[in-house]
Amino acid sequence: MDTQNLSRRGLMLVLSSPSGAGKSSIARALLKADSNLVSSVSGTTRAPRPGETEGIDYYFVTVQQFEKMKSASEFLENARVFDNFYGTPRAHVEKKLSAGKDVLFDIDWQGTQQLRENARDDLVSIFIFPPSLDELERRLRGRAQDPDDVVRKRMARASDEMSHWPEYDYIVVNRDIDKSISQVQTILAAERMKRARQIGLGDFVKGMRGA
C-alpha cells in the first residue's frame, strides 16, 4: 500500500561547506526539483553581492537590526562568519516545519551545532567537500565577485571549516555536480522514510489491522 501521502514531520536539511564547494548550486537544484522542500532565508549584515536579491538570497540588515532581532530571540541560530553576522529567522522555519514541509539551510558549522543542540531529532546535516583545495581556489577565483583579500581569507578559513566534518551526518565530495545533487536527494529520500518522521504511520497500521 502507498504510504506517500501520510502526514509527516518536516525535517531540517543542513548543507555546510567551505565557500566555493558548490553548495549553492546543489541547494538550487534541490529546491527546483522538490516542491516539498523550501529554503530558509537568513538575515545577514554583509553587503549584497551582484545578482543577490533581498528576501530571496538573504535579508540584508544593519548590525543594529541584527542585534535587535537577536535579543528578541528571533533567530533559531546565529553566528559570526568572517566579519559579518548571519542568523536564521525562526518564524518562517517553524511555520514550514509544522506544515510538514522540509526546510533547507545553507549555514556554517557554528549554526549547525546550535541546531543540533536544540532540534537533534529534526536535523539532517550534510557536509560538502570540494574535490581538492586547488579546485576550491579555482572556483573561488572563477566566481570573480570577491576581491583578492576576501578570496585569501576564505581559503585560509576553508581548512578551519573543513575540520568540522566529523560533526555531520553525511559527507558528499562534490567532484561532479549532477552526482552530488542526486546523492543529496538520495539522503533526503531515505531520511523522509524514517519511522519517527512518518507520524501518520500509527493510524495507517491500525487501519490495516482493523483495530
Binding of residue 79 to ligand 5GP (CB under 6 A): yes
| C-alpha radius of gyration, the chain, whole number | 18
Closest contact distance (angstroms) between CB of 111 and ligand 5GP is 3
Nearer to ligand 5GP, 19 or 174 (CB): 19
Nearer to ligand 5GP, 150 or 201 (CB): 150
112 vs 65, 122, 127, 164, 176, CA distance in Å? 23, 12, 10, 10, 25
Nearer to ligand 5GP, 88 or 180 (CB): 88
Closest contact distance (angstroms) between CB of 168 and ligand 5GP is 13
CA 33 and chain centroid, separation? 16
Nearer to ligand 5GP, 83 or 134 (CB): 83
Binding of residue 140 to ligand 5GP (CB under 6 A): no
Binding of residue 45 to ligand 5GP (CB under 6 A): no
- Closest C-alpha among 163, 175, 26 to residue 105: 26
Bridge partners for 126 per DSSP: 15, 170
Binding of residue 77 to ligand 5GP (CB under 6 A): yes
Q: Per-residue string for binding with ligand 5GP, 108-127, x by CB under 6 A?
A: x-xx----------------
CA 21/CA 25 separation, integer angstroms: 9
CA 185/CA 13 separation, integer angstroms: 11
Dihedral of alpha carbons 84, 87, 92, 97, sign: positive
**43 within 8 A of 70, measured Cβ to Cβ:** no
The edge-to-edge listing of strands for the beta sheet with 12-16 is 37-39, 102-106, 12-16, 123-129, 170-173
Nearer to ligand 5GP, 42 or 174 (CB): 42
Closest contact distance (angstroms) between CB of 70 and ligand 5GP is 12
Binding residue for ligand 5GP, selected from 11, 21, 38, 81, defined by CB under 6 A: 81
Contacting positions for ligand 5GP (CB under 6 A): 19, 42, 46, 77, 79, 81, 86-88, 106-108, 110-111
